[in-house]
Structures are given as C-alpha cells and as structure tokens.
Structure 1
Amino acid sequence: MKFGVYNAILHDRPLTEALKVIKDLGLDGLEINTGGFLPAVHVPNMEEILHSDSARDDFLAIFDAEGLEILGLNCNGNPLHAKSVIRAAHSQDVIRSVKLANRLGQNRVVTMSGLPGSEPGAANPNWMVNAWNSAHLDVLDYQFEIASSFWREVDALARDLDVVVALELHPQNLVFNPASMRELVRRTDSTNIGVELDASHLFWQQMDPIAVVDNLGELVAHAAAKDVRINPHSAIEGVLDNSFRRLGPDEARTNLGGDEWANEWPKPSAWDFVAVGKGHDSDYWAGFLAALHRVDQGMIINIEHEDVSMGREEGLKFAAEVLLDAARKSGVR
C-alpha cells in the first residue's frame, strides 16, 4: 500500500515546498487537484503538459527529485450540475483529468458522480434523500438517465486510456452509498468506474467504512483518510443538521464554481471533520487498512486534512503518525 496527502491543504505554497512536507512526514507522495471545486494550483501548465512531452517530463521530474510519486489526480466537483456554466466546467475537468492521468502514467482519477436537477430546465441540483414518495423515485430515474449518459462516455474514455475513475461516496451526490454506486454501474455497464472510499463521509452517515469496503470489494479503487467526530449536539439536530449560514461577499469564503460558495459550518455542530485519530483510534484505522489491503495490496490511501482546530502541517503530522501506526499494526507496511 502507498500513503500520501491530497494536496488541497498545501495549496498555500509552491509544489516543491508541498513535496518537502510530504517527504518529512515519511509518506509516499501527493494526490494532485486538477480542477472541479478548486483550481489546479499545483498544475498551472496543465494544457502544456497534455501536449508537450518536455513539459510533462519537467513536471514529473519535480517529484523524482524528492523521491516521491503522484498518487492519483483529484477533480471533485459536480459534472452533472443543473447550471450549464458549472456543469460544462466540471465535466470538462473530469475528461481532461482522465487524459492528464494517462499522460502522467497515472491510473486513478478521483471525482464525484455529480447531481443533476430534478427535471429538465431545473435551475439547481436536487438531492433526493429517503425517497419514500413515488415522485421522488421518478426524479431519481430522471437523474440516473442524465448521469448514465455522461458516465458512459467517461467510462469509455477511461477504458481506452487505462484509467479508473474513482467516485467519492459523498452526500449531495447521486452516488453516495453502495446501493447508488451499484445502480450507476448497472445502468452504464461500466468497467472503469469505481469508488474512492473516503471514510469520513461514511462515518457521519453512521455507516461503517470497514463494512462498506467488504461490501463493495473490487469496486473500491482508491481511498482517503479523513476522520469525523460525532458531537453531543447530534442528539438534538441529528447528522443531517442543515443549520448552515450563508457567508457574505465581504467575508472569507471558498468559491465552488459559478456563483456558488461554501457556507459557514453549523454552530454548535452535530459533527465535525477531524484529523485521523481524533474520531477513531489507530486500532480502528488498522482494521480499515486491512480491509483495503484485502481488496488490493497496492491500494493508495491519501490523507485529506480538514480539521479547522489544527494547523496545516500540524494536522498532517498528527494524521500521518496515526495512519502509519495503523499500517504497522495491520501489517500492510
């Protein structure tokens, strides 16, 4: 198995400095953001790399100089968005990332399934949760038709280029659990679309990532290490608490594409993203790594740091120590 970091947390510094952080942590490499919700900060010359062998070789040499690897590409976004501007940008990022992966000798691209609107002409995405109403199932049928058309095209491209596209099981996406993943595979008859197993988004839904890995088996193609702490306030609002606050243009906020922005987290929160080890101990993570190892002895798992209580390097160091301890316990490293 190989262990790295998703580079978004290190977008505050040049790639060369980000790689030094990874090397000091004793990890194997970096998962590189290539578009979607976030700009491709560490691949500013992406178009040049796609067409120039010398540009590609120069980029790869940056990693070689530190003895590190690229551990996948990441373009999480909404390639099925109801707004055409966002849909076009994010879907193009997915297709471009598959091509870039092939150019860089990579075979994993991480993204999300996306989420369409509920009907033709819809202005916004619509997530059908707990579809007990037949009308909701009608919406899901429509959304899967939209998704199938796009992902069938991506699957064909990925197959031609020997790349697997790993979909993160992320709420507010059409594919967010094993059942919805299998439905997409069934409708597309895909061969090169799998799952990126990010444990954090399963934890807060009260799912067990180990059980999910065992259930999905070879559909799991890639993994992320991010933890969740369930807080006492979940007893009041539940894990689907929707008490987010809209941030104004005069406040620091993250653009997600077009005119969409990340909101402020609920306060008090029902749950929080925390560094690996702050929600579940290294024994749990050892079991998680063992489950991934049963699926693929060469599985890649990258730390994603979103613990706002810790600094960038502080949080990565804490997570890396827990994860590497878990790897030793499980015997996968």
Structure 2
Amino acid sequence: MNQFTAPLSSDDTSKSGCTSAAQRAVMLAATTLQIEADALNHLRQRLQAEDAAAFAQAVDMLLSCNGRVVVSGIGKSGHIGRKIAATFASTGTPSFFVHPAEAAHGDLGMITPQDVFIAISYSGEAAELMSIVPIIKRLGVKMIAMTGKPQSSLAQIADAHLNLHVEKEACPLNLAPTASTTVTLALGDALAVAVLDARGFREEDFARSHPGGALGRRLLTHVKDVMRTGDAIPSVTPETKLTRALLEITKKGMAMTAVVNTENQIIGVFTDGDLRRMMETVQDFTQISIADVMRPNPRRIRPDQLAVEAVEIMETYRINQLLVADTDGHLVGALHIHDLTRAKVI
C-alpha cells in the first residue's frame, strides 16, 4: 500500500466526506508536484555530470543543422514533441512536428538529409516510431533520441541520446506518463534555450516571430506607426492669442497644442495643465498671446524611435502628450498616451 492508496485515518473519517475528499486531493496534488520536482532535480544533476557530453553533442548537431529540426513521437510523447517543435520555431530554429504514423504514410517526404530528427519515446521502443527510424537513418539524417532507457533500440541507433529516466511517475498507479513527460518537456526547453543563446537570438528576433503578441507590439511598433499626423496635430504660432489656442486644443482633442515658428519648428507647448495653473492668477485671457505662457523646448521624440520609448518618456516625466519631431526639429506628429494604449503598446 503506497501513500496514494492508504486509507483515510479515523480523524479524517470523522469529518464530512467533502472535507476528507478535499484534503486527499490536496495531499495528492502536493505529492505529484514533489515527485515531478524531484525528477527535474535528478535530470539537472545528470545533465551537469554524466549526461553533459551527450547534451553538448545534441546542441552542436542542432547548431550545425542546415535544414530544419523535425520532432516526432507517439501518444503523450507526441504532444510534448509538438510543444518542443513550436519552441524551437519561435526561438529562431526552423522546426516542425511530424506524426510517426503519418510519416509512414507519406509525410516522410517532408524530411531531407539536411534536417536533424528528434525522436521522443520514453521506452525507446515505440513501434510507430521505430518503423520509420531505419528510413530516417538511410536518408543520412542526424538523429537525437530522447528516451528513459539508455539501452533501448532507439537510444542505441541514435547519433546522440538524451536520458529522460525518472524513478517513478506521479500517477498513483505509476503508469500514466506524468513525471516523465514533465522531464521531457523541460529537457526540450533546455535544448531550445541553449541553441538560441549560442545563435545570439535577441528580443528583437523573438518579436519578429511573435508580431501578434505583446512583446512583438512593444518591439516592432514605432512612433510613426501610431502618431497623429497632418490636420490631427494641434499647433499654433507664437503670436496666436490664448483664446484661439484653446479652441485648437479643444478641436484636436489632445489636451495640448504645439507652438511652432514659421518653418514649422517646435518652440514650445501649452497643455490643459498649464491652463489650470494659469486660472489661479490670471483673470483676462483675451489679450494674452500663447508665446507669453507656453513652455519652451518641450520634450519630443523622433518618428523612427520605438513606441515603447515614448511610453518611457511619458512615465519618467509624468506627461500624457509628446510631440514628434524630425532631426531638424520640425513638427511631424503628436502622441497622446491613449494612442499608445489603443495600439496595445502599454
């Protein structure tokens, strides 16, 4: 009788059935996590000792691959394999998953001698996978095997073998792949991370593979992509009366206006905040020119800079608007923090 099947104590049975069931569920969950954590720790220890050379060999094979990384496995190994292939693909290593049964019925045509084949099978004897291995080898494709049995057929025929052995599964029956699939997934991640680091893969590279994600938007969106242009930019000249400038602020809806000279170069800015501060001391606005109350040399950003840099400036100086200028100081656009929010940069 193991820790999973042990009967509840008399103390447990004295409580409601619901409470006892909940306690048992929590106990099993904690035990499952501990078993899987132990399996990962043992994998780490092996990787830093007897398995270090095999891991380094696998990384070298992946780095020297002139084709794609093809991952294959059946059952739970296949599910993990799909994720490993996706991780490689999203981190700069062209990769795809092929189902071994489908491969045996035509999909082998997707595999070329320039590829590297990663075969995943904890037993190392999966019939569907082993049926295509001889053909893979005949093509001259380099093979990395991920198994829990170093003496298995798959491990012996591979060019590099990565050991997935676990002492026990987290399943109460020690049957369902649990700890072994956790270890497989983690080792796949370790391979992908080692390869991306060796390739010099950067945040910008990751963003290009994820243009629809938050990181992609942050690293690929430039100020020019989201700034307001043309008639949407609030601007007045220095001699403009304050009352007229307030109409421009209201019309353009940015809670500010730029002040530009005759060559459209930025010389100042006036915001709603400036107006509120003025109202404490000024009674008559009709005779005031914008040049008398504007703030000179306002903060600005170039259109070719990243939108996240605009966010950083706004947050640092606690402002909600930012003027966009070219290298000669000409006004070419304007940004409101709401523009960045709509673009999902924030």
TM-score (norm 2): 0.23
Higher helix share: 2
Q: For the pair shown, which has the larger CA radius of gyration, 1 or 2?
A: 2
TM-score (norm 1): 0.24
